[in-house]
């Protein structure tokens, strides 16, 4: 399953870091951050509840870039 | 400007004022240090905080860290003005960047401002405003002048002109009347239209486009991926480089050369090195360039699904056209009337009336050429002879309209045509009156488009078609086409594309252009599938990588040109940014470059690269 979320982030490099962090989160098949559109597209692995996964994704993103936001 | 940007701007102004005042204050030593720490913290506290958090979260190497170390180091060395100034200029650069990105984001957002907010639905004679999502197919909606049509449908009542520029890039208004299809997203300009919806909002053209545009960024080009990988290794590398520069030369001087180590000088050089190396210019300008390129293409009615396709388009080598719908209209038209004694109008009038009851494509094109609805009261005794034509009485006069077989059947002598197409013979009152030639017509821009493609360096232009060889050659002979393959079934087209894929050079890309009808497999097989016209099926739009909103073949040329220009801008930025930085890094290492040059190499290069990237948004007409 694939879902797109609106995000808030200041710089392109931070967006790349968020993408990295999201990709490494458990339950995430693939993630892509579009800095220009301020959007994060996440495809989830099967058997994971996307809401729970996204909470973890947000937590991991905050770790690498504390000035970011994902509107889940 | 948003709140964050305003806050930064205020901080920048305050810092500039304080710095200006301080330059007149004759303080020395610790007093000077203390005084300069005020603007330094005002402008840099968030950077310092971020750098600290990065260290805590073990995400050390980023530009915040670079800047914090460089400026803090400069302060410790007693270079107070420079320390505070580097921070100030870094913030100015960041501010400019965020402003420019926000601006182009808004620019492209407005461009794509085709999302309708509501639909005026009629139920039991009452008009209510509802969310377009709630309108079911088959509902009746009203679109007032000045409103956007929210959902695809058919016009039931009313006549108007439509502004489709947001969709197709075409600025000429298009006229529409009852019975015609209307796509969502176009703006109704003059008259009230009553529309019966044929799709749900989610399946309507406007939703499809928005979905495509919004997902465009998730497919990243190789250059973009290169830059993000580059930044990941580059920043730590320069940090270690700077460390080495600060430590190794002084040690060598001390141990092997017996000179004084001059730590201050070398640390200063290392700090300069750090400021120069900040990768922001690259990291921001490359995606911004692609974003602007996709936006600029969108403004022309060319929807590119991702920056990787923009990159591929710029390397196009072969362009394959599926004839019908791309090079030709795919609609039959009367192209000539031959051997007639009576006037063209008169012969068309007879033919159109005789065919009044027929819905065959051929008779449709005759009626279209006639120009008005045939008056069915004038037509009697119609007998349709399947596979041959029609015999009917028009104003009581017998009229036979059909192919050669019909003429033979009626034993009327006829003249065959030497031109390609469908021939419709007409006999009035048993006397041969000439024939009407009907053919698929080449689009007006086709020849120019193909010529330009060749001129722009496309190696091979190929036409594929399911038509017979004769018809295909007839169309191709006047056009600059290198190869023609006819009599192809849809599956054969896939084979042909695969064969061509193996022929082209490794770096070159193959483009397939189709009208989106029955060609989804070919569209996805080609390196780049271009679907022409939004009239194509949903499957084709899904399979295509580039969708042209209208069916003008010149848009193919334009798409390739936009892609090439965008790539040129992206490469300019890559070479320019890396080049300037490399030169300054070397100058910094050997002690020629000072902090001020370092600031230019960082902020100046970024500003120039960002401005250059935004250029991709503006497409030459």
Residues 6+ apart with CB under 8 A from B517: B325, B536, B537, B540
Which residue among A11, A37, A67 places its CB closest to the CB of B217? A37
- Separation between Cα atoms, residue B188 and residue B166, nearest integer Å: 12
Q: Is the pLDDT of residue B536 over 60?
A: no
What's the pLDDT score for residue B169? Answer: 67
Residues 6+ apart with CB under 8 A from B82: B74, B594, B595, B596
Q: Which of B100, B106, B215 to substitute to test the interface with A, most A CBs within 10 Å?
A: B215
Cβ <8 Å between B217 and A34 = yes
Cβ <8 Å between B217 and A10 = no
Q: What number is the average pLDDT over the span B355-362?
A: 79
Q: Which residues in chain B have Cβ-Cβ distances shorter than 8 Å to A4?
A: 214-215
A32 is in which domain, residue-wise?
2-71
What's the pLDDT score for residue B537? Answer: 60
Confidence of residue B565 (pLDDT cuts 50, 70, 90): very high
pLDDT in tens, B324-340: 778 888 777 888 888 88
List the structure tokens of B126.
Answer: 């009452």
What's the pLDDT score for residue B126? Answer: 86
Cβ <8 Å between A64 and B231 = no
What's the pLDDT score for residue B311? Answer: 92
Which ipTM did the prediction report?
0.79
List the structure tokens of B565.
Answer: 């220009």
| Cβ proximity of B284 and B481 under 8 Å | no
List the structure tokens of A31.
Answer: 């993630």
A37 — contact with chain B (CB < 8 Å)?
yes
State the nearest Cα–Cα gap between B105 and chain A, in angstroms: 7
Whole-number percent of chain B with pLDDT over 90 = 23
Cβ <8 Å between B59 and A64 = yes
- Order of strands, edge to edge, in the sheet holding B328-338? B328-338, B431-442, B422-428, B397-402, B389-394, B379-385
Other C-beta atoms closer than 10 Å to the C-beta of B379 total 20
Q: What number is the average pLDDT over the span B593-609?
A: 87
Count how many Cα atoms sit within 13 Å of the Cα of residue B275 in the half-sphere of its side chain. Answer: 35
What's the pLDDT score for residue A50? Answer: 85
Name which residue leads in pLDDT, B518 or B278.
B278
Q: What number is the average pLDDT over the span B374-402?
A: 87
Which residue among B101, B215, B231 places its CB closest to the CB of A13? B231
Q: Is the pLDDT of residue B535 over 60?
A: no
A39 — contact with chain B (CB < 8 Å)?
yes
Q: Is the pLDDT of residue B319 over 90?
A: yes
Whole-number percent of chain B with pLDDT over 70 = 96
Q: Is the pLDDT of residue B313 over 90?
A: yes
Identify the weakest region by mean pLDDT among B374-378, B541-545, B594-598: B541-545
Q: Which residues in chain B have Cβ-Cβ distances shorter than 8 Å to A68?
A: none
User: 3-class DSSP state for residue B541?
Assistant: helix
State the nearest Cα–Cα gap between A26 and chain B, in angstroms: 19
Q: Which residues in chain A have Cβ-Cβ distances shorter than 8 Å to B291?
A: 36
Bridge partners of residue B547, in order along the sequence? B303, B531
A43 — contact with chain B (CB < 8 Å)?
no
Q: Is the pLDDT of residue B13 over 90?
A: yes
pLDDT in tens, B411-432: 888 888 777 777 889 999 888 9
CA B296 vs CA B108, B307, B511, B542: distances in Å:
8, 12, 20, 21
DSSP assignment of B2-39, as one string?
Answer: -HHHHHHHHHHHHHHHHHHHHTT----HHHHHHHHHHH
pLDDT in tens, B207-230: 877 777 666 666 778 888 888 788
List the structure tokens of B19.
Answer: 């710095």
Cβ <8 Å between B63 and A13 = yes
Q: What number is the average pLDDT over the span B526-539?
A: 76
- Separation between Cα atoms, residue B613 and residue B108, nearest integer Å: 14
Cβ <8 Å between A10 and B105 = no
What's the pLDDT score for residue B204? Answer: 82
DSSP B217: G
B contact set with A (CB within 8 A) = 4, 50, 53, 57, 59, 62-63, 94, 97-98, 101, 104-105, 108, 214-218, 220, 228, 231-232, 279-280, 283-284, 287-288, 291
Comparing CA positions, the residue from B123, B147, B155, B145 lying closest to residue B192 is B145
Q: What number is the average pLDDT over the span B139-150?
A: 89
- Separation between Cα atoms, residue B447 and residue B435, nearest integer Å: 28
Confidence of residue B232 (pLDDT cuts 50, 70, 90): confident
A11 — contact with chain B (CB < 8 Å)?
yes
pLDDT in tens, B458-486: 999 999 988 778 778 888 888 899 999 98
Cβ <8 Å between B218 and A41 = yes
Which residue among B57, B216, B283 places its CB closest to the CB of A13? B283
Buried b vs exposed e over B507-529: b needs ≥16 C-beta within 10 Å? ebbbbbbbbbbbbbbbbbbbbbb
Among all chains, which residue has been given the structure tokens 């791309």?
B326
How many A-B residue pairs are in contact by the CB < 8 A criterion?
Answer: 63
Q: Which of B218, B225, B610 to substitute to test the interface with A, most A CBs within 10 Å?
A: B218
Buried b vs exposed e over A18-46: b needs ≥16 C-beta within 10 Å? bbbbbbebebbeebbbbbbbbbbbbebee
| Cβ proximity of B94 and B8 under 8 Å | yes
Comparing CA positions, the residue from B384, B385, B348 lying closest to residue B367 is B348
DSSP assignment of B429-481, as one string?
Answer: TTEEEEEEEEEEEEPTTHHHHHHHHHHTT-SEEEEE-SS-HHHHHHHHTTS--
CA B94 vs CA B51, B474, B597, B604: distances in Å:
15, 60, 18, 11
Cβ <8 Å between A11 and B97 = yes
Burial class (CB in 10 A: 0-12, 13-18, 19+), B570: buried
Q: What number is the average pLDDT over the span A27-48?
A: 86
Q: How many domains does chain A have?
A: 1
Q: Which of A16, A30, A33, A60 to substitute to test the interface with B, most B CBs within 10 Å?
A: A16
Q: Which residues in chain B have Cβ-Cβ distances shorter than 8 Å to A39?
A: 214, 217-218
A16 — contact with chain B (CB < 8 Å)?
yes
Looking at chain A, how many residues does it have?
72
Strand B509-514, strand B316-322: pairing: parallel
- Order of strands, edge to edge, in the sheet holding B174-177? B174-177, B159-163, B187-188
CATH number of the domain within which A22 lies: 3.30.70.100
Angle at B474 between CA B470 and CA B477, to 5 degrees: 125
Q: Which of A6, A12, A30 to substitute to test the interface with B, most B CBs within 10 Å?
A: A12
- Which domains are seen in chain B, by residue range? 1-113 (no CATH), 119-209 (2.70.150.10), 302-328+443-562 (3.40.50.1000), 330-442 (3.40.1110.10)
pLDDT in tens, B21-76: 998 888 888 888 899 999 999 999 988 988 888 888 777 777 888 889 889 999 98
Identify the weakest region by mean pLDDT among B168-177, B388-397, B606-615: B168-177
Rg of chain B on CA atoms, in Å:
34
State the nearest Cα–Cα gap between A47 and chain B, in angstroms: 24
Give the residue from chain B lying closest to A31, CA to CA.
Answer: B218
Q: What global pTM score does this model have?
A: 0.79
DSSP B186: P
Give the residue from chain B lying closest to A63, CA to CA.
Answer: B57
- Separation between Cα atoms, residue A33 and residue B215, nearest integer Å: 10
Q: Which residues in chain B have Cβ-Cβ distances shorter than 8 Å to A7?
A: none
Name which residue leads in pLDDT, B384 or A57.
A57
| Cβ proximity of B598 and B346 under 8 Å | no
List the structure tokens of B541.
Answer: 């739009």
Strand B528-532, strand B509-514: pairing: parallel
What's the pLDDT score for residue B3? Answer: 82
State the average pLDDT for chain B: 86
Residues of B involved in catalysis:
322
Bridge partners of residue B126, in order along the sequence? B123
Q: Is the pLDDT of residue B135 over 90?
A: no
Q: Which residues in chain A have Cβ-Cβ distances shorter than 8 Å to B3?
A: none
Q: Which residues in chain B have Cβ-Cβ distances shorter than 8 Å to A37?
A: 105, 214, 216-217
For B529, left (φ over 0), alpha (ψ -120 to 50), or beta? beta
What's the pLDDT score for residue B217? Answer: 61
Confidence of residue B455 (pLDDT cuts 50, 70, 90): very high
A64 — contact with chain B (CB < 8 Å)?
yes
State the nearest Cα–Cα gap between B107 and chain A, in angstroms: 12
pLDDT in tens, B91-133: 998 898 888 888 877 777 666 667 788 889 988 888 888 888 8
- Separation between Cα atoms, residue B397 and residue B406, nearest integer Å: 17
Which residue among A13, A34, A37 places its CB closest to the CB of B62? A13
**Helix ranges (DSSP H) in B216-279:** 222-255, 263-277
- Separation between Cα atoms, residue B89 and residue B595, nearest integer Å: 11
Q: Which of B66, B217, B291, B573 to substitute to test the interface with A, most A CBs within 10 Å?
A: B217
Angle at B351 between CA B346 and CA B354, to 5 degrees: 125
């Amino acid at each position: 399953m694939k879902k797109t979320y609106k995000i808030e982030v200041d710089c392109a490099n931070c967006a790349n870091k968020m993408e990295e962090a999201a990709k490494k989160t458990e339950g995430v098949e693939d993630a892509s951050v579009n800095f220009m559109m301020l959007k994060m597209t996440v495809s989830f692995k099967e058997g994971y509840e996307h809401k729970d996964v996204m909470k973890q994704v947000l937590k991991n993103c905050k770790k690498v870039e504390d000035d970011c936001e994902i509107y889940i | 400007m948003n709140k964050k940007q305003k806050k930064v701007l205020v901080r920048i102004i305050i810092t500039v004022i304080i710095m200006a005042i301080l330059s007149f204050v004759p303080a020395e030593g610790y007093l000077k240090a203390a005084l300069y720490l005020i603007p330094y913290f005002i402008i840099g506290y968030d950077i310092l905080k971020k750098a600290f958090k990065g260290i805590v979260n073990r995400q050390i190497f980023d530009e915040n860290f670079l800047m914090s170390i460089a400026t803090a180091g400069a302060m410790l060395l007693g270079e107070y003005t420079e320390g505070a100034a580097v921070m100030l200029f870094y913030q100015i650069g960041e501010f400019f960047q965020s402003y420019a990105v926000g601006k182009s984001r808004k620019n492209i957002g407005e461009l794509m401002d085709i999302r309708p907010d509501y639909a005026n639905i009629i139920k039991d004679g009452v008009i209510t405003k509802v969310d377009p999502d709630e309108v079911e197919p088959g509902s009746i909606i009203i679109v007032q002048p000045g409103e956007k049509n929210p959902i695809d449908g058919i016009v039931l009542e009313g006549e108007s002109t439509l502004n489709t520029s947001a969709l197709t890039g075409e600025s000429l208004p298009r006229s529409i009347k009852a019975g015609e299809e209307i796509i969502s997203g176009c703006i109704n300009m003059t008259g009230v239209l009553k529309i019966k919806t044929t799709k749900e909002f989610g399946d309507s053209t406007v939703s499809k486009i928005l979905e495509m545009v919004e997902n465009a960024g998730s497919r990243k080009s190789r250059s973009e991926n290169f830059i993000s990988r580059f930044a990941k290794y580059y920043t730590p590398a320069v940090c270690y480089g700077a460390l080495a520069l600060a430590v190794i030369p002084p040690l060598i001087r001390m141990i092997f050369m017996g000179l004084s180590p001059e730590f201050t000088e070398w640390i200063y050089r290392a700090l300069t090195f750090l400021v120069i190396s900040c990768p922001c210019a690259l990291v921001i300008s490359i995606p911004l360039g692609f974003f602007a390129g996709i936006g600029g293409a969108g403004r022309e009615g060319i929807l590119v699904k991702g920056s990787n396709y923009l990159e591929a388009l710029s390397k196009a080598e072969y362009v394959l056209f599926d004839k019908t719908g791309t090079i030709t209209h795919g609609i039959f038209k009367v192209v000539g009337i031959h051997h007639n004694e009576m006037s063209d109008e008169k012969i068309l009038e007879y033919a159109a009336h005789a065919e009044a009851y027929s819905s065959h494509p051929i008779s449709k094109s005759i009626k279209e050429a006639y120009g008005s609805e045939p008056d069915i009261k004038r037509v009697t005794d119609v007998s349709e002879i399947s596979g041959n034509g029609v015999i009917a009485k028009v104003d009581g006069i017998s009229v036979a309209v059909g192919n050669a077989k019909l003429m033979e059947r009626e034993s009327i002598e006829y003249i065959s045509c030497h031109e390609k197409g469908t021939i419709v013979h007409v006999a009035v009152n048993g006397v041969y009156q000439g024939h009407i030639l009907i053919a698929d017509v080449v689009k007006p821009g086709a020849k120019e488009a193909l010529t330009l493609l060749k001129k722009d360096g496309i190696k091979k232009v190929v036409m594929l078609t399911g038509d017979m060889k004769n018809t295909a050659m007839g169309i191709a002979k006047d056009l600059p086409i290198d190869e023609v393959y006819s009599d192809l079934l849809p599956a054969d087209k896939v084979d042909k594309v695969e064969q061509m894929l193996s022929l082209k050079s490794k770096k070159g890309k193959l483009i397939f252009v189709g009208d989106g009808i029955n060609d989804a497999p070919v569209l996805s097989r080609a390196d780049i599938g271009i679907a022409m016209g939004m009239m194509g099926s949903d499957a084709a739009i899904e399979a295509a990588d580039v969708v042209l909103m209208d069916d003008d073949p010149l848009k193919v040329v334009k798409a390739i040109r936009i892609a090439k220009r965008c790539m040129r801008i992206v490469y300019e930025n890559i070479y320019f940014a890396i080049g300037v930085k490399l030169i300054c890094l070397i100058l910094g290492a050997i002690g020629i470059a000072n902090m001020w040059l370092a600031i230019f190499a960082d902020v100046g290069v970024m500003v120039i690269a960002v401005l250059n990237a935004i250029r991709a948004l503006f497409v030459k007409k």
